[in-house]
Amino acid sequence: MLHRSHRWIGETDGRQGEVELRHLETLLAIAEEGSFTAAADVLATVQSNVSDQVRQLETELGASLLVRSRRGAEPTESGEVVLERARRIRREVEAMRTDLAMLQGLEVGASSFGIVGTASRWVVPQLVASLRERAPGIRLLVNEAASERLMSEVLAGELSQALVTEPVSDRRLVSETVFEEALVAVVPRDVQMPAPPVPLAAVASLGMVMPPRANPLRHEVEAAAAAQRVDLPIVVEVEGIRLVADLVAAGVGASVLPEMAVPGDLTVRVMPIAGMPPRRLAIVNARDAQLSFADRAVRETTLEVVAQRARPVAR
């Protein structure tokens, strides 16, 4: 929560304006709770005080920020702009407090980290274990999702950083390639296959168990197949790498998965594929966001975990 006595000084209509953090806190509460009344309850004040805060903020900024309706209060176009800035200010204030606490040796704070499902199986357990040793006061929020969603959440400020698959084309993101891994064939144990590296066509002939079309891994495999003029007959579409591997072990078909994502307890064969390019993963954060000490501790620990397990990236 923003501290109410601090002020943000800016120029408005040629005069010196003063926007206090409590003004922004009030606006955020209305947007998050949906009404002036609900915001007053959250802020432990009365509705008239909430209305006064909004009126003062609109006067200082010279713009209408909220529209009242039967459904509550909704931000105007100007209000959306101010809300986006207010959220960033709130995150910066919270990060500043965390940084000060860590400088004082308290090693407390929170960090949010996103990761694609193909890497979470081997990265997250070691990341959490390492953090508990080096910075036990850090509260870590981990979100597993597809790369596009993770990048959107980083840009929206919902995540501080994320480990995603390349390419990363949005220039609002800072991207650092951290490792690459092979995409390998995963086939039932008792199926006869050519000597490795196996042709992609031989893998496809078994019928493919693959993630849905929207999945980035599916895009990578289909692009490689198109480059080699290989048809990919999909027999089952399923979300979740573990379930894909389970279906292959059950003899349903074959698949192509990141090497390090293949569970080691299944009776399947894992084989290199001829002409299959590796996939690269990168850690991203918003270009205009400042990583807190807690975020940086998570980032450094992630890089250490990756360095222990993954092969270095060819530069």
Whether residue 173 is found in the same domain as residue 290:
yes
Average pLDDT of the chain is 86
Asked whether residue 2 is domain-assigned, the answer is no
Please check whether residue 213 is in contact with residue 198, taking contact to mean a CB–CB distance below 8 angstroms: no
Of the residues 77, 99, 121, the one at which a domain ends: 99
Helices (H), the chain: 21-33, 36-42, 47-61, 77-103, 117-134, 147-155, 200-204, 216-227, 241-249, 293-309
- pLDDT above 90 (res 142): yes
- Residue 205 and residue 207: Cα distance in Å, rounded? 6
CATH number for the domain harbouring residue 24: 1.10.10.10
Q: What pLDDT is recorded for position 106?
A: 44
Q: What pLDDT is recorded for position 90?
A: 83
Whether residue 40 is found in the same domain as residue 69:
yes
Q: What pLDDT is recorded for position 102?
A: 62
pLDDT (tens digit per residue) in 76-116: 999 999 998 888 888 878 777 777 766 655 455 789 999 99
Whether residue 22 is found in the same domain as residue 87:
yes
Asked whether residue 165 is domain-assigned, the answer is yes
Whether residue 294 is found in the same domain as residue 227:
no
| Beta bridge partner(s), residue 181 | 279
Asked whether residue 237 is domain-assigned, the answer is yes
Q: What pLDDT is recorded for position 69?
A: 82
pLDDT (tens digit per residue) in 179-235: 898 999 999 999 999 999 999 999 999 999 999 988 888 989 999 999 999 999 999
Of the residues 99, 126, 150, the one at which a domain ends: 99
Q: Residue 237 — very low, low, confident or very high, per pLDDT cuts 50/70/90? A: very high
Asked whether residue 315 is domain-assigned, the answer is no
Whether residue 61 is found in the same domain as residue 203:
no
Asked whether residue 314 is domain-assigned, the answer is no
Asked whether residue 191 is domain-assigned, the answer is yes
With residue 240 as reference, give the H or E element that holds it. Answer: none
For helices 21-33 and 47-61, the axis angle rounded to 10 degrees is: 120
Domain count, the chain: 3
CATH number for the domain harbouring residue 290: 3.40.190.10
- pLDDT above 50 (res 28): yes
Structural domain containing residue 23: 7-99
Whether residue 159 is found in the same domain as residue 196:
no
